[in-house]
Amino acid sequence: MILKIKWMVWGLVLGLVMVSAVSAQNTVKIGVYLPMTGGVASFGQMEWAGIQTAQALKPSVLGKKVELFLVDTKSDKIEAANAASRLIENNKVSAIIGEAISGNTLAGGPIAEKARVPMVSPTATNPLVTQGKKYVFRVCFLDTFQGEAAAKFAYQNFRARRAAILTDKSQDYCVGLAEFFKKAFTRLGGKIVAETFCQSGDQDFTAQLSTIMAAKPEVLFIPNYYTEDALIARQAKELGLNLPIFGSDGAQTPELIQIGGPAVEGIHFIGHFHLKGASTPLAREFIGQFRKKFPKEKDITAFHALGADAYFVLLDAMERAKTTEGVKVRQALTETKKFHAVSGVMDIGPDGNAVKPAVILTVKNGEFVYLTTLNP
């Protein structure tokens, strides 16, 4: 009797193992590492919503169901590196989507590179993210393009010849973007009359803004994330610093308007996406599906769209490679041409970088308003 029970138990265990093995063979595992909590949690939460919407539209690839594994990086570089390792070593993923910001992607990228696991970041714009890497990609434009576009707009549209910059020096993204703006603006013939710094989490920008006021600039460039930019705009108004302010893609979130209120009215941005500029069939499908899946969400932002684009581009590469093998998926990603994504038509080359349009936005009546599209 005991022997019979043992054989029954072993049979059950063997059956479960076989079911698990069959299930694994019928799924494609994709890891996602994003800041779901911490200082830039809004980015991660929006990108995750975009990825989930994309999965609802395209739940399978190569005849297999896509299984997503999400790890919270807590807006921290060390956590980001640990998350990438966990996804590769524990979850055995075929590819990774993430991270949202450049600093954290720079932490996770080398781990994916060493393991030869393709990684696609939705929104890491710093050029260093893909530099020297074969397995790290992005579906957003680079800060070189963004910095130059912001400088041209300030110089040509605002007719500014004197600019000031207030940069978050604790973020790789912010420091790099400030440098690209500075080089482009001076090359056009403008002058940087004040350059000041802050750090993520700062609450008081009075000293920096006073220095800027004394320099009498004609435009203020703030290449930072949404919390700092909102507080800078509020305190600038309080001090009577009334001049055009130009922000960057890292501030295009609803939280900017919630924190900044009337003070952020009129701020201009370089952005990745706006509903008014959405033109591809996939964008229309995505918008419809997103409205169904997240009916309480007021806005569909660039972070939603780019989260989805990372997913769609990755699955497109797998389909063209006819496999989930890292080396072949990586090669297919480098051959991405004229992909009609949610955020526009893009190419991705051997350098891992997307070549695609950008949009100019402004805040008007408490909303992000589309002005124009800039083609690369």
Q: How does pLDDT run along the chain (376 residues), one tens digit per residue? A: 554 544 444 554 445 444 344 445 799 999 999 999 999 999 999 999 999 999 999 999 999 999 999 999 999 999 999 999 999 999 999 999 999 999 999 999 999 999 999 999 999 999 999 999 999 999 999 999 999 999 999 999 999 999 999 999 999 999 999 999 999 999 999 999 999 999 999 999 999 999 999 999 999 999 999 999 999 999 999 999 999 999 999 888 889 999 999 999 999 999 999 888 888 999 999 999 999 999 988 889 999 999 999 999 999 999 999 999 999 999 999 999 999 999 999 999 999 999 998 899 999 999 999 998 888 7
Tokens of 249: 């893609």
pLDDT digit string, tens, across residues 196-244: 999 999 999 999 999 999 999 999 999 999 999 999 999 999 999 999 9
Instruction: Tell me the CA distances in angstroms from 4 to 9, 17, 18, one per residue in order.
Output: 9, 20, 21
| Long-range contacts of 179-185, Cβ-Cβ distance < 8 Å, separation of 24 or more | 179/147, 180/143, 180/144, 180/146, 180/147, 180/148, 181/147, 181/148, 181/150, 181/151, 181/221, 181/223, 182/147, 183/147, 184/147, 184/148, 184/150, 184/151, 184/152, 185/151, 185/154, 185/155
46 within 8 A of 256, measured Cβ to Cβ: no
d(CA 260, CA 138): 30
Taking Cα atoms as reference points, which of 112, 123, 138, 102 lies closest to residue 31?
112
pLDDT digit string, tens, across residues 25-45: 799 999 999 999 999 999 999
pLDDT of 24 reads 54
pLDDT of 374 reads 83
d(CA 262, CA 259): 9
pLDDT of 325 reads 98
d(CA 267, CA 220): 10
DSSP state of 154: H
48 within 8 A of 290, measured Cβ to Cβ: no
Domains along the chain with CATH numbers = 27-141+278-356 (3.40.50.2300), 144-271 (3.40.50.2300)
φ/ψ of residue 192, rounded to 5: -90, 110
- Strand pairing category for 268-271 and 64-72: unpaired
231 within 8 A of 261, measured Cβ to Cβ: no
Taking Cα atoms as reference points, which of 99, 110, 45 lies closest to residue 76?
99
